[in-house]
Amino acid sequence: MKKWKKGLLIICAGLLAILEGNTYFFRRAQEQTDADPAAESADADRDTKKVALTFDDGPHSVYTPLLLEGLRERGVSASFFLLGQCIRGNEKVVEQMKKDGHLIGNHTFSHKDLTALSEKEAEQEILRAGSAIYEAAGVHTAFVRPPYGRWPEGLELQVTMIPVFWTLDSLDWKLRDADRTAEQVLNQAEPGSVILMHDCYETSVEAAFLVVDGLQDQGYQFVTADELIFP
């Protein structure tokens, strides 16, 4: 008798679970049916219009803090690839990057062409910068931006890091003109663009704000580089 009652309870519990499950899925289906198609389209558009704004060669004692402040005001996350030799004296700047939620990456210690070095020398350039980043902000970064975009084949296996390149060069380092730099980016940006800029020039900081404002007006969302690599 006890076994029969126990079996009945199990059957009832199972039926209740099925009923609750059907109610849940019906409710979800109804919510999707009632959803505004225009709102869904806008959400999908925002999901696909993502770009990553990346900065090399910092941190700079003057321009990087100004850049961080402006990005914070705009609610924008970016990626900073730091030179190890620039970190000493700018530890608080790196700490602020971390606090603001930016991706912190490695740009080697002294900006040497890694393909012109021995494998051991190339490793040391990356490892020294990684140590400086960790000492400044406690970050073990997994991402490295090779100077000049030159990466020795197989080096990622030696340093166990992911090289991050770019798809759109702002030419800020060459133009040194905020309006022309911003125009260069705004004319070429497309969903999935990884934009290369630098945070060691005043004109680059001014251009970055023009780029952010312009692309946000076009419905773009700024994400960190790793969010594009691992969506």
| Digit-coded pLDDT (tens) for 55-68 | 999 999 999 999 99
pLDDT for res 31: 40
Task: Show Cβ contacts of residue 218 under 8 Å, excluding neighbours closer than 6 positions.
Answer: 49
- The residues assigned a catalytic role are 56, 198
Paired tokens of 134: 């960790």
| 207-216 pLDDT tens trace | 999 999 999 9
Confidence label for 47 from pLDDT (cuts 50, 70 and 90)? low
User: Which residue in 86, 96, 25 sits closest to 61, CA to CA?
Assistant: 86
Residue 21 has pLDDT above 50, yes or no: no
Which alpha helices (H) appear in 49-169, and where do they start and end? Answer: 63-74, 91-99, 119-137, 155-159
pLDDT of 1 reads: 42
Q: Half-sphere exposure of 217 toward its Cβ, with a 13 Å CA cutoff?
A: 7
> Rounded mean pLDDT of 145-152?
98
Tokens 């309006």 -> residue: 179
Closest CA to 114 of 160, 145, 76, 139: 145
Give me the pLDDT at residue 50, please.
97
What CA–CA distance (Å, rounded) separates 101 from 92? 14
Question: Which residues in 41-59 are b (16+ Cβ under 10 Å) and which e?
Answer: eeeeeeeebbbbbbbbbbb
Cα 221 from Cα 206, distance rounded (Å):
19
Is residue 12 scored above 70 in pLDDT? no
